[in-house]
Amino acid sequence: MQSQLELEDERVKLVDKLRQALPDLTTKEATVTDGVYRDGALSHKVKRLIALGIALRVGCTNCILHHTIQALEVGATKDELLETISVEMAISGTTGIGESLRVVKILDELGKL
């Protein structure tokens, strides 16, 4: 499996290019996203874990990379990420394992597994 951290670096570069190409749209999207992930009844960290579970379920590679890294940056632990994976697998069955391996790979690349 390709380095997930390299994929994340590439994703960030491409998002920057998209922001330059569509500044009006991406600024509006960022405003909505920033509002959604603010601490409220649920913490930013919990919201990132929820987003990761949804991303895993729909199989969105870029979303999985982004929300895994974001969850780690706001303090999610390895165990919290693994429990998020386990919930997704309980919902999706064995098909949930495939994309979950990306999270395992990121944790491994970061020396957290």
Q: Which residues of 58-67 are buried (b: 16+ CB within 10 A; e: fewer)?
A: eeeeebbbbb
- For residues 45, 51, 66, 90, the Cα torsion angle rounded to the nearest 10 degrees is 110
**How high is the pLDDT of residue 13?**
97
CATH of the domain at 41: 1.20.1290.10
Which tokens in the block code for residue 23? 């500044």
For 76-88, how does the pLDDT look when each residue is reduced to its tens digit (9 = 90+)? 999 999 999 999 9
**How high is the pLDDT of residue 94?**
86
Q: What percent of the chain has pLDDT over 90?
A: 95
In this predicted structure, the answer to whether residue 95 has a pLDDT above a threshold of 90 is: no
* Mean pLDDT of the 55-77 span: 97
Residue 94 neighbours by CB under 8 Å, 6+ apart: none
> What is the count of structural domains for the chain?
1
Which tokens in the block code for residue 8? 């994340």
The domain of 56 spans: 4-109
